[in-house]
Amino acid sequence: MAFNYLNLVGNAELMKQLNYAMIYRLIIQQSPISRIQLAESSQLAPASITKITRQLLNKKLIKEVDIQQSTGGRPAVSIVAKFDYYQAISIQLSRSHVMIELYDLGAKSLASKRIPLNDFTQQQTQNYLISLIELFCQEQQKKIKHLIAIAVVMPGVIDSVKGIVRYTPHIHVDNWALCDILKTKFDVPIFIGNDVQSLALAESYFGSTQSVEDSILVRVHRGVGSGVIINQQLLMNHNQSACEVGHIQVNELGERCHCGNFGCLENQVVNNAIEKRAKLLLEQGYRSKLTVDKCDILTICQLANQGDELAEKLIKSAGENLGRAVAMMVNIFNPQCVVVAGEITKSPEILLNAVNNALYSQSLKQLRENLIINCSSLDDRSAIGAFALVQQSLFDGSLLMAILENKS
């Protein structure tokens, strides 16, 4: 049998990428950290640690600090991440607007802009998006020192591996090769993904699930989406999607959903469903500080927090329905933490109590004993989910190696 040198070279390059990614992630998560500590944690040879950290220093991804106490002489040198040298543009493309933000590598938002999005075709949206990025770069040229990536998230079925938008609810697309198009135009690595799945990843990197291995995020807005994190990795399948929680049936006597089923979670808990029910109950004579003209979701949450009986009833009902779906996911995935995002979380105590009540009656005791349920600590209307894709590519080493191999 002939020896395959290509496989050997490929494996060596992959191991190099993984080793560099491991060291960079350790520095991010455990800084300040010494080279000796890096060697102990990674089980790599000290010579390898020296080589890797030298290259990361040269590319200004990390920096040395003299903070560790020594027994005498020079202070021991530790390493911390350097966040301000590079920047990434992150974009959330929603049904009604575009949120474009500039982040440093520490997930700090340096600039943001929210622009309305009208009904566009694929080509019109593409041209619009390119022009927005160009204008944003011009406006923020003083803050953009070294742009290393652009990331875009949106609802729908997104093939993040091939960089193709297969389906998005607000634009008719035909295998939209968005990554290749933006790469040609801006000559930086491009990442795309589903907005809610990316938000789950962001929660794992920057939010309330950083300390756990397995978590689920459910976002309620115009629709219901979810993202599942297993062993700190986003759960994906062959179709680059997973867990369409919005079409779990929670009320068999409920209204018909656009998917054809009856009583889907999406029909029970999304913002306009709650607002529609509020108007119906007001018209039936329910007494409340809510009015037919002012019963938007934020007002409902505000009045629920103030003890308004009808507003409480609406949030509690939505929470119970959400809890039924969460219970099914807990029984399947056994997460350590479940996070809820969306405007409905503006009434957190009423919502989470209702979710927990349904969860406790419909999930296995052993799977919920140490389960934490809370509201997202991130702004789900920002582009932080898009930036999570950039962080992911740094942590898996792919973007990290692109930076290290860049001669400029």
Share of the chain above pLDDT 70, in %: 93
Mean pLDDT of the 288-306 span: 94
Amino acid, res. 174: D
DSSP 25-74: HHHHHH-SB-HHHHHHHH---HHHHHHHHHHHHHTTSEEEEEEE--SSSS
* Res 241: pLDDT: 60
Amino acid, res. 22: M
Whether 309 shows a pLDDT value over 90: the answer reads: yes
Q: Which are the contacts of 194, defined by CB distance < 8 A and separation ≥ 6?
A: 153, 154, 155, 156, 157, 158, 160, 225, 227, 240, 241
**Helix or strand holding residue 151 (H, E):** strand 147-154
Q: pLDDT-based confidence at 4, cuts 50/70/90? A: low
Radius of gyration, alpha carbons of the chain: 24
Q: Which residue has the tokens 């607000």?
A: 170
Whether 168 shows a pLDDT value over 60: the answer reads: yes
**CA–CA separation, 316 and 348 (whole Å):** 11
Mean pLDDT of the 343-354 span: 96
User: What does the block give as tokens for 133?
Assistant: 């990025």
Mean pLDDT taken over the chain: 90
Q: How does pLDDT run across 191-227, given as a tens digit for each residue?
A: 999 999 999 999 999 999 999 999 999 999 888 889 9
Nearest residue to 161 (alpha-carbon basis) of 225, 239, 216, 243: 239
Mean pLDDT of the 157-177 span: 91
For strands 147-154 and 62-68, give the pairing.
Answer: unpaired
**CA–CA separation, 51 and 15 (whole Å):** 15
Whether 70 shows a pLDDT value over 60: the answer reads: no
Q: How does pLDDT run across 16-69, given as a tens digit for each residue?
A: 999 999 999 999 999 899 999 999 999 999 999 999 999 999 999 999 997 655
The CA–CA distances, whole Å, from 340 to 92, 143, 225, 392 equal 19, 33, 10, 22
Q: In terms of C-beta density within 10 A (0-12 exposed, 13-18 middle, 19 or more buried), how is residue 42 classed?
A: middle
Domains with residue ranges and CATH for the chain: 5-81 (1.10.10.10), 87-200+383-405 (3.30.420.40), 208-375 (3.30.420.40)
Mean pLDDT of the 147-168 span: 93
**CA–CA separation, 94 and 170 (whole Å):** 8
* Res 1: pLDDT: 43
User: What does the block give as tokens for 81?
Assistant: 């991440």
CB atoms under 10 Å from CB of 214, counted, come to 18
The CA–CA distances, whole Å, from 10 to 7, 254, 299, 362, 366 equal 5, 54, 57, 48, 44
Give the neighbor-by-neighbor strand order of the sheet with 147-154.
109-116, 97-104, 87-93, 147-154, 190-194
3-state DSSP assignment of residue 397: coil
Whether 369 shows a pLDDT value over 80: the answer reads: yes
* pTM assigned to the model: 0.91
Q: How does pLDDT run across 247-267, given as a tens digit for each residue?
A: 777 777 677 877 777 778 888
Mean pLDDT of the 162-176 span: 91
* Res 3: pLDDT: 46
**CA–CA separation, 295 and 297 (whole Å):** 7
Q: How does pLDDT run across 83-137, given as a tens digit for each residue?
A: 999 999 999 998 889 999 999 999 999 999 999 988 789 999 999 999 999 999 9
* Res 250: pLDDT: 78
Q: pLDDT-based confidence at 243, cuts 50/70/90? A: low
Residue 259 vs residue 284, higher pLDDT: 284
User: What does the block give as tokens for 295?
Assistant: 């019963």
**CA–CA separation, 126 and 61 (whole Å):** 32
Mean pLDDT of the 274-291 span: 93
**CA–CA separation, 399 and 394 (whole Å):** 5
The CA–CA distances, whole Å, from 144 to 130, 213, 363, 403 equal 17, 34, 49, 16
* Res 260: pLDDT: 72
3-state DSSP assignment of residue 257: coil
